[in-house]
Amino acid sequence: MTTETAAKKRFKPYQLSIAFGVGIGTFTLISGIVPQLTGWENTSLIHREVFGGIPTAFKVAFYTVIPMMLIWGSLRFADRVRNWERGAPDRRKTTPKNVKRRLADYRSGVYMRTLLRDSAAGLMHSMIYFGFLVLLGVTTVLEIDHQMPEALKFLHGDVYRGYALVGDVAGVVFTVGVVWAILRRYVQRPYRIRIKTKPEHALILGVLLAIGITGFGAEMFRIAQGQAAGVNLDHEKWSVVGYPLAQLVNGASASTLTTWHQGWWVAHVLTFIVFLAILPITMLRHMFTSPLNMYLKDRERPKGAMKAMPNLTETSLESFGVNVIEEFTWKQLLDLDACTMCGRCTSVCPAHATGKPLDPREIVLKSG
């Protein structure tokens, strides 16, 4: 087999993106089917009934639309990967010599160590990012427990109490972080943020805020509905936000609370679907591209070093630098997608500081 034939048979990066999305989507679809076939239920008095009070039609819609959105998102992300592949070659191979340093750089990206140099922006982003990750983990754990045989279910008793506490605390941290971000962008309005605020930012922050609020709304009426039906839900006191809110409406009828619970649940799911829809086509994708970019930043040339220029008296080149997109390296095209529009590159640019018409952020954004 020739080298060219072997290269054609290898998976390309964009195909891996699609395969990942299809895999997660398929797993989600199967996770909705398996419990219907097995009938495994958690019989503990201290647990949470998955989809309690939610009609079958809503559950079918959930396990149909969510996998479709996951696959759609992977296709859109694959489009971005295809764009990177238009670039010129750039050696970024992971080797035994650089793997340790690259993993350290990746952790730095995930933990947002660079962003944390700005204490306010760093803390705000950390609250949103890590709060969201914990909430995603809480939902995933609930789904895993939902798939388990009764003997293997673990989300009950003290484990459930701790689970409920962690979920509500994470929800508060996440929601407060989003509110802080809204106030920072639209009230405090630092210069480097004010000059680059777009409708996209309002959409992203609105969706994130809606996820937090509708999540607490659904929890509030889920607990109130259970109490109205005569179920002992004292263990839900560990839901330190949802339980107190539920007491505000505990005088309503069970049918009214059921309707409100279903309404808030649908709203919560719809906002998550919108989140999945905008994730690969807005700056939200930097959740994936920025850590990846950090992992791949290691290079043989020192940081900031320019490529050697040809001898201008001997070369026959008609242009220098980059004139078309294909003259960027694939890594430089990834850099463009990893940009978060924060403006810190412009704020520390010496030329920009002296009043010269050079804005590094504009160069990156217009190139992308």
Q: Averaging pLDDT over each range in 102-106, 146-150, 259-263, which range is the top one?
A: 259-263
Residue 245: per-residue pLDDT = 97
Q: Closest Cα to residue 28, out of 132, 154, 140?
A: 140
The greatest distance separating any two alpha carbons of the chain, rounded to the nearest whole angstrom, comes to: 89
Residue 115 lies in a domain: yes
Residue 98: per-residue pLDDT = 87
Work out whether the CA dihedral 116, 170, 199, 368 comes out positive or negative: positive
**Rounded to whole angstroms, how far apart are CA atoms 13 and 144?**
29
Give the pLDDT band of residue 92 (cuts 50, 70, 90).
confident
Give the pLDDT band of residue 300 (cuts 50, 70, 90).
low
Domain that holds residue 128: 12-295
Residue 329 lies in a domain: no
Residue 221 lies in a domain: yes
Listed range (167-176, 225-234, 309-318) with the worst mean pLDDT: 309-318
Domain tally for the chain? 1
Neighbouring residues of 234: CB distance < 8 A, sequence distance ≥ 6: none
Residue 337 lies in a domain: no
Residue 318: per-residue pLDDT = 66
Query: pLDDT (tens digit, 9 = 90+) per residue, 28-59?
Result: 999 999 888 888 888 888 888 888 889 999 99
Residue 146 lies in a domain: yes
Residue 364 lies in a domain: no
Query: pLDDT (tens digit, 9 = 90+) per residue, 166-177?
Result: 999 999 999 999
Residue 155: per-residue pLDDT = 93
Q: Retrieve residue 168's tokens.
A: 């509500």
Length, in residues, of the chain: 368
Residue 332 lies in a domain: no
Residue 90 contacts residue 329 (beta carbons within 8 Å) = yes
Average pLDDT over residues 185-192: 85
Residue 227 above 60 pLDDT?
Answer: yes
Please give the mean pLDDT across all residues of the chain.
Answer: 88
- % of the chain surpassing 70 pLDDT: 91
**Rounded to whole angstroms, how far apart are CA atoms 74 and 20?**
7
Average pLDDT over residues 334-354: 82
Residue 71 lies in a domain: yes
**Rounded to whole angstroms, how far apart are CA atoms 73 and 95?**
31
Give the pLDDT band of residue 74 (cuts 50, 70, 90).
very high
Residue 122: per-residue pLDDT = 87
The pTM of this model reads 0.89
Give the pLDDT band of residue 306 (cuts 50, 70, 90).
low
Residue 2: per-residue pLDDT = 54
